[in-house]
Amino acid sequence: MANSKYEYVRLFEQPDTLLPNTWIVVRIDGRGFTKLCNTYGFAKPNDKRALDLMNAAAKAVMADLPDIVLAYGVSDEYSFVFHKTCQLFERRASKLVSTVVSTFTAFYLHLWPTVFSGGLVDDVPLVAPLLPTFDGRAVCYPSVQNLRDYLSWRQVDCHINNLYNTTFWALVQKGGMDSVEATELLKGTFAADKNEILFSRFQINYNNEPEMYKKGSVVFRDYELVDPANTNAAQTAAAADNQAEPPTLSKSKAETDKKRRAKARITVEHMDIIKDEFWDRRPWLLTGQPGTLPKQL
């Protein structure tokens, strides 16, 4: 039986390839996580297990998709950065977004018991229909500066929200306020005010809060750090921006790159990614070329 009579419907599929030579960021966000957090009893303002789970799922996504050079996560969101030379799925937006979202979801569910069932007491099994799910979208950034500004935007947001939430929940959990009172008190306050409230009322030095809460989590392949005296992000960025087209590697070079990339450990860190130093010491993030594997591996 021929299928030709109906096959014309394929003409309705419209292409959604993303502009070449631009950095692709796929950002995913938890759907209805306020309710999910309440149902499964996540700690406020930060639940270490929930963040560990986000990070573990992000690592699994990066291992599955080697075109991702870096990921940055905070709260229930994660941004995955594909190198601007990436040709995965012919750069089709829906393929890239749906693959990242599905892989992340799958690992989040699969790894849930390892994180949320540390002991008999803590066991928190998932119960349908309230399962964790995520939505996502892809955005293109033409220059290294745009990409770094995007990531800086997310990390500044992390800081602003975490300082607010830390203070808010201290007022509620330790200060005996209800949420209306706490909201009212914090209205119009600056960072210095919140630091002061934390310190004077609760003896909390915000600087001593865990780095994961203050900085979020950055995930990348770990090679030997480069001496910042020998490189700088501006040069690397310019070089990356000057890459006009996907490099056509020799087959053997491509093979070597692939192996080195597979051998590299994927690491999760909680550090400043706004300043140059992070990028200066890890030129492979922007060049897309694998770095030197550390000796111990």
Q: Binding of a copy of itself at residue 39 (CB under 8 A)?
A: no
In degrees rounded to 5, what are phi and psi of residue 92? -75, 125
225 vs 238 by CB, closer to a copy of itself: 238
Question: Shortest Cβ distance from residue 150 to a copy of itself (Å)?
Answer: 4
Which one of 66, 117, 159, 272 is in contact with a copy of itself (CB under 8 A)? 159
Residues 205-264 that bind a copy of itself (CB under 8 A): 234, 237-238, 241-245
39 vs 94 by CB, closer to a copy of itself: 94
Q: Binding of a copy of itself at residue 201 (CB under 8 A)?
A: no
Which one of 109, 185, 204, 266 is in contact with a copy of itself (CB under 8 A)? 109
CA-wise closest residue to 116 among 36, 29, 210, 34: 36
CA-wise closest residue to 24 among 77, 93, 125: 93
Ligand-binding site membership of 75 (annotated): yes
Tokens 């991702």 label which residue?
68
How big is the site for a copy of itself, counted in residues (CB under 8 A)?
A: 77
Euclidean distance between CA atoms 195 and 178, whole angstroms: 20
Contacts of residue 88, Cβ cutoff 8 Å, sequence gap at least 6: 65, 67, 82, 96
Q: Binding of a copy of itself at residue 138 (CB under 8 A)?
A: yes
Host H or E run for residue 206: none
Structure token digits, residue 39: 């149902």
Ligand-binding site membership of 118 (annotated): no
The alpha-helical segments, DSSP class H, found in the chain are 4-7, 33-39, 48-64, 93-116, 144-173, 179-186, 191-202, 211-215, 233-242, 251-263, 276-280, 284-287
Residues 59-88 that bind a copy of itself (CB under 8 A): 60, 63-64, 84
157 vs 276 by CB, closer to a copy of itself: 157
Q: Tell me the sheet residues that pair with 24.
A: 82, 140
98 vs 289 by CB, closer to a copy of itself: 98
Stretch that binds a copy of itself, among 40-48, 67-75, 143-151, 167-175 (CB under 8 A): 143-151
Question: Shortest Cβ distance from residue 180 to a copy of itself (Å)?
Answer: 25
Binding site per annotation, positions for Mg(2+): 29-30, 76
Binding site per annotation, positions: 29-30, 75-76
